[in-house]
Amino acid sequence: MSCEQMELKLGKLLCGGYFWKSRVYLNNKQVMVVRIDMHGMNRDEAYRTITGILNANKGKFIIDVIHGYNHGTVLKNMIQNDLRHRRITKKENCFYNQGETMIEVCAA
């Protein structure tokens, strides 16, 4: 799937202003990265959004989730502890930003 195709799917998944807080690009290893800012989402909205992204693309990619840290850790805890999916191979906090988590996703 191309970045443009993923952006079209994101437009259907994300309502309101959240689409404008997302970005799809290729990193330096030519792996697709879906970066989404979840500030303002509640736990259930964030969970549904991430699982929707996981199901929208069948290839290998990375979800870069900006969930925040200073005003609560509900989203961070949900991603680190409660989010389960058979395609998630690795979840790690960004070493320079505690309010960001990288989720590596394998191909279906």
pLDDT digits (tens, 9 = 90+) for 50-100: 998 999 889 999 999 998 777 768 888 898 899 999 999 999 987 788 889
Q: Is residue 102 predicted with pLDDT exceeding 90?
A: yes
Distance CA 66, CA 26 (A): 18
Distance CA 30, CA 35 (A): 15
Tokens of 30: 């030519």
Predicted TM-score of the model (pTM): 0.88
More confident site: 94 or 104: 104
Q: How many CA atoms lie within 13 A of 8 on its CB side?
A: 5
Q: Residue 76: its pLDDT value, please?
A: 87
Q: Residue 32: its pLDDT value, please?
A: 93
Q: Residue 86: its pLDDT value, please?
A: 92
Distance CA 7, CA 106 (A): 19
Residues whose CB is less than 8 angstroms from the CB of residue 6 and which lie 6 or more positions away in sequence, other chains included: 24, 32, 34, 56, 57, 61
